[in-house]
Amino acid sequence: DNKDQKSAELYINTLEKKDLEDPEIIYILAKLEYLKRNYDASERYLDDYLENGGPKGNYYLLKGKILARKKDYNGAIANFNDSKKNGASDREANNNIAVVMMLQGRPEPAMELLYSLFAANPNDEKVRSNLLLASTRSHRPDVALEVLKHDSSEQEARVKLKKLMQSVKPLPKKVTKTVPPKQVAKVKEKKNMEMETKSVDLKPKYVARSVLDPKNLRPKAPSIYRIQVLATYKVIPSDYLNYLKGNYGSVYSYTHGLWKRYCIGEFSDINDAKKFLENMDIKGAFVVDYTKKRYVEL
């Protein structure tokens, strides 16, 4: 922003008076006042910009940013949506909407919106930064790890993830309606087990690594079975995640290929897992061997 401001000021100083009626110049003036935090002046320039034939998409985009700074969050989102209807970049508008959602204290919908942008173009540094912030605030280590792995090794990403998750406040405990005790998995916590998820943009070696290979198992490694309840290319919706956690305890995430797989429960005997599955009311759920899978616990 400081570089933009200095560049704009230098450019404005080279202009003649007649140039100040050009919509592009007026827009630069509006943006300059915005960068200087003179929001009322910026809005006045924006009105002049529109009156002189400036594109509405740019008008609504900057107007939304001004309103966000003024803490008129609903107005900001409305303007960002209007910018998309008038030719502005959907990506830029949606990124801004997600930022406003976080300012409203709504990191979960912000994360879901940003994740769709990240999946479409993981090289967008601004989106990655915002998604990392939204996912940590949403207590979603699976998403945060995926973002970190974009430009870090697996080990480096996990070290960064641990520090990030320690920096956020724990979520307040919510009273949730649970299923009868006989339907709840007897989950044994494996807090020291190594965790892993894989990014959207996977390399073949990661895909191969996620396939169970009995030869690589530690001698006498105890069997672990879980019940897979969802497989998706997208991030699991927060509402459904909360439902699963409220009714079945911890949810475990790992990625195989491009699919994100979410499981519940922990069983040392496959028959126990199958019996529990029979009492579940989740269409398409099935038992998976989790003995070697590395995961993130949600």
Regarding whether 115 and 72 lie in a shared domain, the answer is no
Same domain, 187 and 161: no
3-state secondary structure labels for all residues of 234-289: CCCCHHHHHHHHHHHCCEEEEEECCEEEEEEEEECCHHHHHHHHHCCCCCCCEEEE
Residue with more model confidence, 66 or 229: 66
Within a domain: residue 20? yes
- Percentage of the residues of the chain whose pLDDT score is greater than 70: 73
Give the pLDDT confidence of 215-224 residue by residue, as tens digits: 444 445 678 8
How far is residue 56's CA from residue 84's CA, in Å, rounded to a whole number?
Answer: 10
Q: Which residues contact 72 (CB under 8 A, 6 or more apart)?
A: none
Residue 275 maps to a domain? yes
pLDDT reported for residue 189:
36
pLDDT at 73: 97
Assess contact for 285 and 297: CB atoms under 8 A: no
* Mean pLDDT, residues 156-175 taken together: 73
Q: Are 295 and 252 in contact (CB under 8 A)?
A: yes
In this structure, are 149 and 242 located in the same domain? Answer: no
Calculate mean pLDDT across residues 228-234: 85
Whether pLDDT at 131 is above 70: yes
- Is 97 contained in some domain? no
Higher pLDDT, 289 or 134: 134
Q: 292 with 186, same domain?
A: yes
Look at residue 33 and tell me if it is in a domain: yes
pLDDT tens digits for range 85-129? 999 999 999 999 999 999 999 999 999 999 999 989 999 999 999
CATH classification of the domain holding 27: 1.25.40.10
Residue 173 lies in a domain: no
The average pLDDT across 1-24 equals: 69
128, 229: one domain: no
Position 94 in a domain: no
Regarding whether 157 and 204 lie in a shared domain, the answer is no
* Residue 176 belongs to a domain: no
What pLDDT score was predicted for residue 40? 96
Say if residue 168's pLDDT is above 70.
Answer: yes
Residue 146 or 80, more confident: 80
Q: Looking at the structure, do residues 185 and 163 belong to the same domain, yes or no?
A: no
Quick one: pLDDT at residue 289? 84
The domain total for the chain is: 3
Give the pLDDT confidence score for residue 50 in this predicted structure: 94
Same structural domain, 141 and 54:
no
On whether residue 102 sits in a domain, the answer given is no
Greater model confidence, 23 or 11: 23
Q: Mean pLDDT over all residues of the chain? A: 79
pLDDT in tens, 182-217: 344 443 333 333 333 333 332 222 222 333 344 444
Is residue 11 located within the same domain as residue 84? Answer: yes
Q: Which of 1-5, 29-33, 264-268 has the lowest mean pLDDT?
A: 1-5
Mark whether 199 and 273 lie in a shared domain: yes
Whole-number pLDDT of residue 153: 85
Q: Are residue 7 and residue 44 in the same domain, yes or no? A: yes
Boundaries of domain holding 77: 2-88
pLDDT in tens, 37-93: 999 999 999 999 999 999 999 999 999 999 999 999 999 999 999 999 999 999 999
- Whether the Cβ atoms of residue 137 and residue 102 lie closer than 8 Å to each other: yes
